[in-house]
Amino acid sequence: MNENIIGVIAGILTSIAMLPQLIKVIQTKKVEDLSLVMLLLGVSGLCLWLVYGFLKGDFPIILSNAVAFIVNVSLLICYRMYQKEPKNKESLTLKKNRVNSKLPPIKVIKQRHKKVIKF
C-alpha cells in the first residue's frame, strides 16, 4: 500500500474534524463554548504545517492542512461575528470613562441582596 494513500486518508480525517463544530456554530450562531486560544493556536499550527508541506513538497501535507486551515479560519471568523456584546453597555461605558478620568474609583457595597454604589 502506498504511504501517500495513508497520508491522504489521515489528512482528510483531521481536516474535517472541526467541520461539525463549524456547522453547529453557523446553525446556532453561538460561540460561547469555543476557546479563542484553541482557535488561534490551531490556525497558527496549521499555517506552520502548510509552510512545512511546501518546503518539503509533500502534497498530502499541503492538501490536508490547507483544508483544515480554511475550516479553522472560518470558525475563527464565525467566532468574531457571533461573539456576544456585553449585556449592559452603559455600565461598560461608565467603567471606561472612569478609568480615563481623574475621578475616584467606584465602590460597590453589597447590603443584603442590594447593591449600593458609592462614588
* Domain of residue 26, CATH code: 1.20.1280.290
Establish if 118 belongs to a structural domain: no
Give the total number of structural domains in the chain.
1
Establish if 106 belongs to a structural domain: no
Ramachandran category for residue 112: left, alpha or beta (phi over 0 → left; psi -120 to 50 → alpha): left
CB 72 within 8 A of CB 18: yes
Q: What is the pLDDT of residue 12?
A: 83
Q: Residue 75 sits in which domain range? A: 3-87
Establish if 117 belongs to a structural domain: no
Establish if 14 belongs to a structural domain: yes
Establish if 35 belongs to a structural domain: yes
Q: What is the pLDDT of residue 88?
A: 57
How many H helices and E strands in the chain? 5, 2
Q: What is the pLDDT of residue 55?
A: 96
* pTM for this model (two decimals): 0.65
Establish if 103 belongs to a structural domain: no
Spatial separation of the C-alpha atoms in residues 22 and 59, rounded to whole Å: 25
Spatial separation of the C-alpha atoms in residues 53 and 63, rounded to whole Å: 9
Q: What does the pLDDT profile of the chain (119 residues) look like in tens digits?
A: 677 788 778 888 888 999 999 999 999 999 988 899 999 999 999 999 999 999 999 888 888 899 999 999 999 999 999 988 655 555 555 555 555 556 555 655 555 555 555 55
